Chains A and B, each alone.
Chain A
Amino acid sequence: MSTATGLSSPERPATTPTFQAPSTGRKIKNNLATFLVGLAFVIALVPLVWVLATVVVRGIGAILSSDWWGRSLSGVLPESYAGGVYHAIYGTLIQAALAAVIAVPIGILAAIYLVEYGRGRLAKTTSFMVDILAGVPSIVAALFIFAAFISILGAEQSAFMVSLALVLLMLPVVIRNTEEMLRLVPDELREAAYALGIPKWKTILRIVLPTALSGTVTGVMLALARVMGETAPVLVLVGYSQSINFDPFSGNMASLPLLMFSELSNPEPSGQFRIWGAALTLILIIMILQLGASVVSRFSAISK
């Protein structure tokens, strides 16, 4: 076809230019499509901005009040605006941290197994289980921990039980993310290490993991941010406490979602005040984690 036009066109008089302005129909379609895409973007953005704005506007007063970050609600009457939520912040942080201490090593080791060693049935089964675990709703994870540890093993309700449920929710995220990061490490690096007479385990520990580190850390932080707001586990597995409890292994302990839930039954305006404050606090903590994740990934990015 190209030969045909190539041969005939030089002889043809140039009556019509080859390039013409786009047709009106195409212009209309183009503008319509641009408009629709823009509209979809705005529609998607509206609820996000709305939620964020509402939380900030309603919660800012609470988090700026003098006692907010340094006091608990111990001895504070429901209708009073006094007191703070440091007991709940502590609870949220310690529960997530304990979950991370358990889930991160197990998750990373499982991912290493899947990527570096896993072949055949066991790896396929593990991978399948991870997929299933990833789809488990948090209430089911919470009820499972309740059934297994509290009903059957006779453990008491405590923050640690919450952490165990959070482990179930974090594990698939950590495994999948680490797996992806490890698979991004080119095989050529592994081969280079083997060819130097470096054993496989050392190659993984000193070459593969450092190369995948920033992505792995980012993934862990995002997983943490996700489980911090989980409400089902704290509702099912630990009682609420107005005052600080440092011991995650026994007694009631507050956390930000649990505090919000318990203040819902407070009819006084101070209840609303604390709910919005706690919501904003939770969002701030999660934002700090995500910022931390992006800083980590920026600074330890593989130098090109």
Chain B
Amino acid sequence: MAKRLDLKAVDIFYGDFHAVSDVNLSVSPRSVTSFIGPSGCGKSTVLRTLNRMHEEIPGARVDGEVLLDGEDIYARSADAVAVRRTIGMVFQRPNPFPTMSIRDNVVAGLKLQGVRDKKKLDEVAEASLRGANLWKEVKDRLDKPGGGLSGGQQQRLCIARAIAVQPDVLLMDEPCSALDPISTLAIEDLIGDLKKEYTIVIVTHNMQQAARVSDQTAFFNLEATGKPGKLVEIDDTEKIFSNPHEQATEDYISGRFG
């Protein structure tokens, strides 16, 4: 299930704009890696190249290799749709499908991939909602619209939807930034559970969150506006937060800039 990710010499462009340069990093299976760094340094950009979501942006382009268990997801023969089936994503703002019930939201991926078997869909819906720590709260209103839930519940619904297609890797782009502290804690707990089965990469603005949930932390930075963002260092979270290798990391962690 969970797979390993390797980025080798990844450069990302939006048209002529060089957004991120020369990223090299590895993410091991069943671990949580967090991306931190000031706004605009390219964290989301890097994250979106990990499941080829950036291809939906006109002019966006990637050089280098992104390997999933050694297999290049940018290979000629690799289908972006298949890649995204394997590498799921949760977004900053909860985005349940407004025309669908809670249950249909969870199994939307499977249903649209052609799974019809109602029993199987119900099983997956329950398992995924349990996996997202949401089952107890919604089990009596599975047929109600997903938009009726609170923000934190909606975000967990989106996580349930993402894990229902059984990806190998789960990417999260600031999944808690639109949520209150209690919902944030609920999601952080959930991330702790999910890493037993998935490889997780999370972008966060909240350094305590990075320290709480992740095994390794990558610090991205921008030398100057207009210059490409860079991966400054990546190391065990403990190391990054206690004794980072680079001065810039230290400055950022201790709140001296960014």
Chain A positions within 8 Å of B, measured between CB atoms, are 119, 186, 188-199, 202-203, 206-207, 210-211, 213, 302-304
Contacts and interface: CB of A to CB of B under 8 A. Distances in A.
B252 interface: no
B22 to A, nearest CB: 26
Contacts of B108: 193, 196, 198, 207
A191 B81 contact: no
Interface of B: 51, 53, 56, 58, 81-86, 88-89, 91, 93, 95-99, 108-109, 112-113, 145, 147-148, 158, 161-162, 165
Contact of A195 (B89, B99, B145): B89
A120 to B, nearest CB: 10
Contact of B85 (A196, A303, A304): A196
Contact of A191 (B53, B86, B96, B145): B53
A127 B84 CA distance: 33
Contact of A302 (B91, B98, B113): B98
Contact of A194 (B84, B96, B113, B158): B84
Contacts of B113: 197-198
Contacts of B81: 197-199
Contacts of B147: 302-304
Contacts of A213: 99
Contact of A207 (B97, B145, B158, B165): B97
A196 B95 contact: no
A211 B158 contact: no
Contacts of A119: 58
B58 to A, nearest CB: 6
B103 to A, nearest CB: 14
Residue among A192, A193, A211, A303 with the most chain B CB within 10 A?
A192
A210 B98 CA distance: 9
3 nearest CB pairs, A to B:
A197-B85, A196-B109, A195-B89
A90 B242 CA distance: 82
Given A188-B95, A211-B98, A302-B98, A195 B84 contact: yes
26 contacts: A189-B95, A189-B98, A191-B89, A191-B91, A192-B91, A193-B97, A193-B112, A194-B56, A194-B84, A195-B89, A196-B84, A196-B165, A197-B83, A197-B165, A198-B81, A198-B109, A198-B112, A199-B81, A203-B112, A206-B112, A207-B97, A211-B97, A211-B99, A303-B98, A303-B145, A303-B147
A181 to B, nearest CB: 13
A265 B69 CA distance: 84
B88 A189 contact: no
A188 B97 CA distance: 10
A109 B98 CA distance: 22
A186 B245 CA distance: 42
A191 B112 contact: no
B97 A191 contact: no
B97 A195 contact: no
Contacts of A198: 81, 108-109, 112-113
Contact of B56 (A189, A190, A199): A190
Given A190-B56, A303-B98, A197 B93 contact: no
Given A195-B51, A197-B165, A202-B112, A189 B97 contact: yes
A216 to B, nearest CB: 13
